[in-house]
Structure 1
Amino acid sequence: MMIGKTGETVTAISTADAASLTVRGRDLCSDLMGRVGFTEYFYLLVTGHEPTEEQRYFLDLLLVSIAEHGLVPTNQAARMTLAADPSSIQGAVAAGILGCGTVVLGTAQSCGDLLTSARNRAAADGGDTVAALKAELEAIRAARGPAPGFGHPLHKPIDPRAQRILSLAEAKGVKGGHVALARAAERLVPEIWGRPLPMNVSMAIAAVLLDLGFPSAMLKAIPILARTASLLAHIAEEQEKPIGFFMAGVAEEAISYKPETGE
């Protein structure tokens, strides 16, 4: 029994035979190995095209910006999982990546959706993109939703990563309109929410990726790929200096049992 629709039963990513491997139309050994870096290879795998120098530079920048952020939930989950099963490196990585969601790490996707919706609204109405962005933000606020890409529990009054990304994008003349729209959101969000909310790194990542033509449906791929490298670092350290069970123990001690009323 087949559920759902199936597309054309082909793949354009790779094929292999006894003597060769072909990736995106290029011979792996003669065209790619020793000739391209991993960032370029990742871009080729996802998009089917080799990146321009500008795309490669900023993809490197964005991967570095989001890879590591201390003992955040993704990294704690990986270390605790490895403590429970020291042989399961892949399980520990998976545990961390599963935490890449709509609240932590994976919010570049919702930021990209906001910027895209604003531009689509402006195009449909024949209006100004900033006005369309304001309308989108006001609708989110009216629904009591969070401002995508704004606010951070630690980085106040600014997220230095976001500012570094956008300043480099502006200095290098990245064009496409999404970076400018992110800057407009930086002005609008505190007005609409009525309090200071710094732009965080996820909004900057989304804006730059969209301006560089990266597929909008794959924005979350950047934090996933970047954080995988960081998770492996935490796993390597956990093997030598284990703290996974310690973190679990501290959490258990800090949280008290309170029976439900009527128990």
Structure 2
Amino acid sequence: MKEFYCFILLFMLSLCDASNKTPIKSIKSPDGDIIDCIHIYDQPAFDHPLLKNHTILMRPSFHPNSELLNPHSQENTNSITQSWQLSGKCPDNTIPILRNQNARKTKKYVMKQNETVSQSSSDDDMKSLDPYTHELELITNDLGSHKYAIAYVQGDKYHGAKATINVWQPYVQNRIEFSLSQIWVVGGHDSTINTVEAGWTVDPSVFGDNKPRLFTYWTRDHYGSTGCYNMFCPGFVQTSTKIALGANISPVSTYHGPQFDISLYIVKVTNENQILT
């Protein structure tokens, strides 16, 4: 089991370009990806004017206790990694960035479609369901149908969540289909819905292939004028030297075979005005 950590700050959507950053080191992944190790203060987040002269907090005062959250975390589990890590690692004070991810970062692909599950259920219906209830929903719009299998909980005040997610490589028939598994933290109502999301996805329209890739996403206005995958736009500040957003996750689970999973945390550090994910 692999646990992924990095930092995000949420700001307005403004497309950025990572191609003008000079890498300190470049790594060729066995799957064909190229990972550029960029100095941590040269990452795309700092193209945003509100982050000029920002000081990165490398170690938050709060850190998830993986043993407390998962008492079986020390048991033997299958090893999982990102393919590029087999070819090297980024030096200290750098972060790994998937090269050419900006080639597909037009607004069409940066923005997710309006897909909040609750849009087909009333608040009363949602409240009537017990926590952790599994629900299958079909939402249809002009772009086709979305099917959801969900487990969720609602309450008054939450400062964090964790999910351990099995990693698969589901088949998608064409470039407009996608499949994903994620942890999805949602707040607000209607046009003010804001989300922080993380997981893996197979999405040819965004990443150009059918590999399961690590992703993050956020929006603050119900997928209206704001929202962004990974580091496609300013606002996501990364500190990890080991994890590349958008990079392939390997190996994957097989039916009646070995199983592989990742653990993801989304935690609000209240006294430091940031979110740990």
Higher-Rg member (1/2):
1
Higher relative contact order (CA 8 A, sep 6+): 2
When you count strand as a share of all residues, which structure comes out higher? 2
Shorter chain as normaliser: what TM range? under 0.3
When you count helix as a share of all residues, which structure comes out higher? 1
TM-score (norm 1): 0.26
